[in-house]
Every structure is written in structure tokens, then in C-alpha cells.
Structure 1
Amino acid sequence: MSTLLFIAGVLVMIVAVAASIALHEVGHLLPAKKFGLRVPQYMIGFGKTLFSFKRGETEYGVKAIPLGGYVSMVGMYPPQPATATEGKKRGFFPKVFGQLIDDARSQANEQVKVEDDGRMFYQLPIYKRIIIMLGGPLMNLLIGFVMIGIVVMGFGVSTATTTVSEVYQCMATAERSDATECHSGDPAAPAYAAGLRPGDTITAVNGQAVAHDAWYELTGVIREHPGQSIALEYERGGTVHATTLTPYLTERPVLDEDGYAVSGPNGQTLTEEVGFVGMASELQNLPQPISEVPVVVGDQLLRIGEVILHLPQRMVDVAQAAFGTQERDPNGPVSVVGVGRIAGEINASDQLEVTDKAASLVSLIGGLNLALFAFNLIPLLPLDGGHVAGALYEGVKRFFGRLAGKKHVAPVDTLKLLPLTYVVVVAMMVMGGLLIYADIFKPIQIF
């Protein structure tokens, strides 16, 4: 049964990846057609065409290798200037790459027809080119927002609540700080002595009501008032009770605004002397308002951006884990294979409820699309961000050209960056191969 659930999880992610790629290309297709650009092909995948059909000027189809997709648009690159001569092609760079660039230009423009004049990509205003190239990433961003929104507002976010999950019976002495059982000489923990028990929900502190998701607000009061009496109201079995407790002064980890322990420059957890009563919070999935969705999406994009910014080092870490003994970083990069494997493990897990599995899979799809959005904005060809950078550079070039009194400024020929493009493609293939190898033989452990 677990094998079938694993396969089902993988299939869900395969469909999600295919849909994300298809919609990414739709993000390019719609504005391209809106601006009158002729689009000969809209394809999902690469290699041999499995099936296709034609509507209007565009052929729609699916190819054999489902590792991406593309929208072919006429006139992506300007034609070779009429003034170009063979004499200009002297020198090392033109001799090595000149023919390669010419061949690529001919292949890219082989679908251009005479009637396409005025509606080719390089002839469009700069802002239209930018809109077309940003359409794909923005579609992924939209999908990510929707998926994360479903999780945040529908399934809810794991939240520390004011419902008590555990109450310690005693406070261990300094000599027995790692003890797990109480001895006769140990003082009773304040929460236990005050009558609090697992399942109780604290509703007020010192006469002030506290929200169900305000655990850190509650513990903030406790931490700030060691040795001082604190009045609590709590609900048990539908009945409200009142009690008081006095926090002990003890050394505890420094917490950030989200309740996570803060580490110092040396990696060790920072500590401080604060009040402590010996009780723990029950985590619950609580639906959040729509205003929380951008916050969650923003946090995820920041983490993804950090991974991309330090991608070379991250890939070194992946290689060391893949061919060494250390564990993979659960927040590090993964391939499509890794995403599918994670989805399968989530779906096959007996540690999660059905709703938790569904929420995890939807969240995974959302995170995947946010990663596609961020990665495609890298300003290098052949990524969408590279084409946007080329258009922006042309805009700057035209601006200074006008200041210099030039009536015509030649369009920027990004095809001249073809050698760099090949370097980027090879690097992406190497990184993809390494990630696939690591995801098969040294996968990220999520349970």
C-alpha cells in the first residue's frame, strides 16, 4: 500500500511540474499574441514531437522529453547588418564563434516570412518585449501565490497555540539539568504547581485576554517576570478556571520574533536568564487571513533567493554530500527527481494525516513555482531574465544615443552572447545531473 501511495505522490508531482511548465509558456504566449507577434509553436518538452495540432498561426504540441518547454516567436534576433563584411570577422573571437552565431541566427530566423515585417520580436517596443519575457515567471509567481494561499487560508499554518501540550512536574537542579525524571528533592514546576495540565487552554494573563495563536505573547510575559506572581485564566472541559504562578529564573535560549532559537557568530545557541514555568505549547494548523499569504510567499522567496545567490557553494555542498558521508541540507537545491521523491515520501508517510499530506503536496507545488519564478529571473541567457536584461540594455543604449543626437540606434543583438549562453546551458546541465544523482543516491531526508 505504501508503495502505491509513493507512486501516487510522484505522479501528482509529475502532473504538477508539467502543468507549471505549460502555464509558464502560456505566460509568454498570451502577451506575445496580444502584441501581434507571430508565434509558430507552443511546445511542452523537447525532442521528438509526440502529438500536435494547429490553431491559427500556432502549432500546439507535446514532445518526448518532458524537461521544459518553449514558445517560438519570430524575429527573436535582428538580422545580420548589411554592412557586415568578412574583413570584420578577423580576430580570434569571430573566427571561433562567428560561424556558430551565423548558423544560430539563420536557424532562429528560418520561420520569418516577408509579411512578418513589423511584428517580429526585436521590432517590438522594449516594454512589450519585457512584458512577454516576464510573462512566464509571473505565471509561476501567480501559481505559487494561489497554492500557498490555499495552504495558508485553507489548511492552515502550524502555529504554537495557548493550548498546553505538556506540563513538567518538577524543575531539575543545576546538577541534574539533563534529567528526565523527578527526584524527591526537585521543586515542583510552577505550571504543574498552579494546577495546569495537558489540554488546558490559557485564555487570559493578568486579566488581559490572549488569542489562541498568541503563545509567544504569553511566554513573553512569563520570560519577562521571573519571581513575580502572574494571574492566569484557563479553560478545561468547557469550564474557566483561575490560578497564579511564579516563574523561576533560569537560563533559556534567546528567541527571535517567530519563536526560534538565535545562534551566535560561532554557531552556538545564545542564552539569557528569563522566567520559566515548565509547560509546552500544542501545535495546531490554524487558517490565516489573506494578508498572511504575501508574508509567507515573501519568506519563501527570500530563502530561495539566498539559495540562488550562493548556488555555487550550495552545489559544492551537494557534491560533498553525494560522494561523502555528510547529510544533504534539507533547505538546499533539489532536482525534479528530488521533488518527485519528496512528494512520494510525503504521500506514503504514516506519520501524517490525510489533510497534512494534502497540505504538504500543495505547499510543495507552490514552492516549486516560486523557485521557477526566481530562477528564471537570473539575468543570463537563455533564461527569461537574460532576455529582459538585453531589452533593458537596449533601452539604456537608445537613451544615451538620443542624448548624443543619433537618429537610429541599432537593436541589441543578444545572439552575440551565444558563447556565454552555451556556458550557462552546460553549467545548468552539470548542476542538473549532479542534483539528479544526489536525489537518487543521497536524497534529502524529510522524516
Structure 2
Amino acid sequence: MEVLIMAGQLILGLSILVGLHELGHLLAARMFGMRVEQYFIGFPPKVFSITRGETEYGLGAIPLGGYVKISGMIDESLDTAQMKAEPQPWEFRAKPAWQRLIVMLGGIIVNVITGIVIFVALTYINGDTYLAAKDARYGIVAHELAQQIGLKTGDRIVAINGKPHRDFNDVFSSEVLLGTNSTYTVERTGAGGAVERLTIDLPNDLVDKFSDKKSAPRFIEPIMPFEIGVVSKDMPAAKAGLKPGDRIVSINGRPTQYFHEVQQAVSVNKGRTIALGVQRGTQNLNLNMTVTPEGTIGFYPKSLLPVTKVQYTLGESITRGTERAFGVVYDNIKGFGKIFRGEVSASKALSGPIGIAQNLFGGVWKWDRFWFVTGLLSMALAFMNALPIPALDGGHSVLLLYEMVSGRKPSDRFLEAAQKVGMVILLGLMAFAIFNDVFKAVF
């Protein structure tokens, strides 16, 4: 069922974005009197189509893209026969270069607008809910990856790159993971109670380690006092009588106060029976249960750390939402820089449709997350299409800018060759991304 939910979200998100992207091309072409022959969401084989006026509208069976066929334009169809005839007034090639450039940029512009609208709407509706850095007062749990760079459980991160931070999750921000020579400033309490301040240098390839599915969730988390939130049915905790609102105060006689202490005590007792000391209101209970072979007992914690909630006005949401939308583009640029500098492995950093469905959408349909990921993908799609690769909008735009500056139009033969080269590059990248997704999922 989770697979169907992931696939459904991916297909719906991509269909919306591709449909709007191609609509941007169509509207721009119509604005300048160009004839649009086809508007399709999805690639062939054709599932359905209907003709209205001069345009055939349809759906393709492969929901990984779409296209608009504009008369007199060298595109994916490689319709060279049409290009041999004399240009007609309604054709793309008969229009001035500046009009053709606007048509090529139409899809990118619509995707940018879509991304901004989504981020502004989410910011206005949901505001921000976060754990303030000052409220992570008990310090951090440093897992193996964090320990490798010099952090310890109990450290308090008080600054990032020398500056105080507002949100605890800023420790995972793109400024840190995609930046260069980033640092944490931590306060560490020594054996005698003295507090020392240290600077921890972060390796420039830290984000590469985050791309490893085994390491990604094991870095830093706040030390968290908690109570029982949700108890999973048919698991040891439920069978033993653990209930929401309970507090686990000891395991096998050893006091526990924080969630990571409970996790550690349970994980080292896989398959064994453990005794939980539980506080339920004014009652103190002892519950015995057998830990699963995976090292769990079956409950979700409810954090007792205070949460900060901020609501924004419409004006504030427009500013903040726009910043977040363009932050996606900026992060993509920094990410590619990491890849080109060899600080990040392309096989770990790049994902295709399978990776996007698994890592971003997830197996539970949550509308807030769906629209957030769709907004993120809209900005990423705009960025990728703007790259100067033949067959992409950016590649076409570069050639049109050359024509506008030089006054010389590239020959149709050159444009056809560039389109073929671009299609080979894109198909190769798509094949690599899909194979990479399968490899990472299996291994």
C-alpha cells in the first residue's frame, strides 16, 4: 500500500508540474500567434486525446514528462520534413528571436511562479513550528557520524559558523551541509562541572555521508524528555499494558529520563525480557515485556520540550515564501558545486523518480508534505530546465541569445544535431538516475 501511495503522489505531483510547465509554453506561443499542434502530459504511447481547434490535447502512458509541439520548431519529434518547407507566418521559426525566447522561457517562468505560490501559501497557512535552539537545553545526542567529527552527547550547539541560531534544525541547514568550511560552536561540561567552549570543524563532504541511507538518520538529535505518545497494536509495549501519557523512569532497575536512554537500553536487549518502571499519574508500575529481535518495543514518544509556533501575515508570507522558493534553486547550485568539486558522490546525491517517491513523498499521504515537495520540485524543475543542455529550454535559450547578439541564426541542420545530442544526454541521465535508485534501494 505504501508503494502505491508513494507512486500516486509522485505521478500527481509531476503531472501538475509538467502540465503547468507545458502550459507556459503553449500560452506564450499562442500570445505571439504560433500554432500549437499538440499538448501532452506524459510520454507515448498515447492513452487519451481530444482535439480542440488546431491543438490535440492528450495524456501519455509514461508519467515522467510531457511536451508541446509548436509548428516550425525543432523539438523531441525531430520533424525534419516540416522544416524543409518554406516558413509560414504561424510557425515558431518565422517569429523574431525575442518572441521565440519568451516561448522557450514560458515553462520555466510558470514553474517558478508555481513554486513561489505554493511556498507562500504553506507559509501563510501553517506558519512555522520548531524547536528553538535555546529550548534544546539538555544538549544533543551525538550518534556515530556526529562522534566522528568530534561531537559528544550532552554538547550544546550555541552557534553555527560563528553566529547564534534560532531553530535547532538549523544544524542540518543547507548552509551547513552544502557550505564550505562550516563550524559548530559547542559548550561542553567537563568532569568537574566546568563548561568549555569548543569549535568543531565540519568536513566539506559531510553531506555525502548524509546521502548514505544507513548514516542519514544517525547524526544529531536533541536530548528529549518524553512521555508515551502512541502505542503500536500487537507490539510488546501494548501487550504489557503501556499507555499514552505514561513515563518510563527505569529499565531493569537503571533510571531513565530521556528518550535516547530508553532507546539504548532497549536496543541492547534484543529478544530479551526487560522490566520497565513506569509512572502513570500518581501510580508507579512495573511492566515486563520481551524486546523484538529488531530492538524495539512498539511506541512513539511525545516530546516534552517546548515548541515555538509563529504565524505570518500575508505580506510576511510573500517575503518568506519567496525566499524559501529561491532557496531551493540556490541549494541546487551549491549541490552541483559540491559534486563538481568531488566533495559529494553523484551516485549518492542524484535521485530519479524512485528516490523522489521514497525519500521526499513517503508512504503516508499528507497534503502539507505533498504540496511542500511539489513546490520544491517545481523550483528544481525550473532550475534543471534552465541548464544550457541541448533539448532543454535552457539549451534552446542559449542558442536564441546567440542569435539575438550575433544577428546570425544557427542552421536547421545544427539545431537538429544539437537536439539529438541533448536527447542522448537526457536519456542517459534518466537511465543513470533510475538505475541508481534501484541500486540504492537494493543495496
- Compute the TM-score of the two structures, normalised by the length of structure 1: 0.58
Distance 1:18-1:266 versus aligned 2 partners, 3 A rule:
closer
Q: Distance in 1 between the 2:437 and 2:205 partners?
A: 30
Deviation at 1:365, TM superposition (A): 1.0
Distance 1:120-1:372 versus aligned 2 partners, 3 A rule:
same
Query: What code does the residue aligned with 2:80 have?
Result: S
Q: CA deviation digits over 1:296-315, x for unaligned, max 9?
A: 12221111123345666789
Tell me if 1:136 matches 2:107.
yes
Tell me if 1:297 matches 2:325.
yes
Tell me if 1:386 matches 2:395.
yes
8 Å CA contact 2:101, 2:400 repeated in 1? yes
Deviation at 1:134, TM superposition (A): 0.5
Q: Distance in 2 between the 1:372 and 1:311 partners?
A: 19
For structure 1, the 5+ residue unaligned runs are 78-102, 169-176, 182-188, 190-212, 217-222, 225-246, 255-261, 268-277, 320-327, 349-356, 399-408
8 Å CA contact 1:13, 1:343 repeated in 2? no
Q: Distance in 2 between the 1:58 and 1:438 partners?
A: 38
Q: Distance in 2 between the 1:427 and 1:312 partners?
A: 17
Distance 1:313-1:71 versus aligned 2 partners, 3 A rule:
farther
Query: What code does the residue aligned with 2:310 have?
Result: L
Q: CA deviation digits over 1:187-242, x for unaligned, max 9?
A: xx9xxxxxxxxxxxxxxxxxxxxxxx6899xxxxxx99xxxxxxxxxxxxxxxxxx
Q: Distance in 2 between the 1:386 and 1:266 partners?
A: 31
Residue of structure 2 in register with 1:424 after alignment: 422
- Compute the TM-score of the two structures, normalised by the length of structure 2: 0.58
8 Å CA contact 2:339, 2:345 repeated in 1? no
- The equivalences for 1:107-186 within 5 A come to 107-109=81-83, 117-161=88-132, 164-167=135-138
Tell me if 1:46 matches 2:39.
no
Query: What code does the residue aligned with 1:298 have?
Result: F
- The equivalences for 1:402-413 within 5 A come to 411-413=409-411
8 Å CA contact 2:131, 2:308 repeated in 1? yes
Residue of structure 2 in register with 1:252 after alignment: 198
Q: Distance in 2 between the 1:130 and 1:30 partners?
A: 13
Deviation at 1:59, TM superposition (A): 1.0
8 Å CA contact 2:111, 2:381 repeated in 1? yes
Q: Distance in 2 between the 1:285 and 1:17 partners?
A: 31
Distance 1:334-1:214 versus aligned 2 partners, 3 A rule:
closer
Q: CA deviation digits over 1:158-195, x for unaligned, max 9?
A: 54437735447xxxxxxxx99979xxxxxxx9xxxxxx
Query: What code does the residue aligned with 1:151 have?
Result: L
8 Å CA contact 2:391, 2:418 repeated in 1? no
Q: CA deviation digits over 1:274-303, x for unaligned, max 9?
A: xxxx99975545344221122212221111
Q: CA deviation digits over 1:329-368, x for unaligned, max 9?
A: xxx22112221223453527xxxxxxxx443322211111
Tell me if 1:263 matches 2:202.
yes
Q: Distance in 1 between the 2:352 and 2:417 partners?
A: 25
Deviation at 1:370, TM superposition (A): 0.9
8 Å CA contact 1:160, 1:283 repeated in 2? yes
Deviation at 1:394, TM superposition (A): 0.8
Residue of structure 1 in register with 2:19 after alignment: 22
For structure 2, the 5+ residue unaligned runs are 140-149, 156-165, 170-184, 187-192, 207-221, 225-304
Distance 1:314-1:418 versus aligned 2 partners, 3 A rule:
farther
Query: What code does the residue aligned with 1:13 have?
Result: L
SS of residue in 1 equivalent to 2:42: strand
Q: Distance in 2 between the 1:52 and 1:315 partners?
A: 47
8 Å CA contact 1:314, 1:333 repeated in 2? no
SS of residue in 1 equivalent to 2:396: helix
Q: Distance in 2 between the 1:343 and 1:264 partners?
A: 25
Distance 1:315-1:11 versus aligned 2 partners, 3 A rule:
farther
Residue of structure 1 in register with 2:310 after alignment: 286
- The equivalences for 1:27-426 within 5 A come to 27-76=24-73, 104=78, 106-109=80-83, 117-161=88-132, 164-167=135-138, 250-253=196-199, 263=202, 282=306, 284=308, 286-288=310-312, 289-290=316-317, 291-308=319-336, 317-319=345-347, 328=348, 332-343=349-360, 345=362, 347=364, 357-398=366-407, 411-413=409-411, 415-426=413-424
Distance 1:417-1:316 versus aligned 2 partners, 3 A rule:
farther
**Which moved further from structure 2: 143-152 or 285-294?**
285-294
Structure number, greater radius of gyration? 1
Q: Distance in 1 between the 2:194 and 2:78 partners?
A: 74
Query: What code does the residue aligned with 1:37 have?
Result: M
Q: Distance in 2 between the 1:314 and 1:438 partners?
A: 18
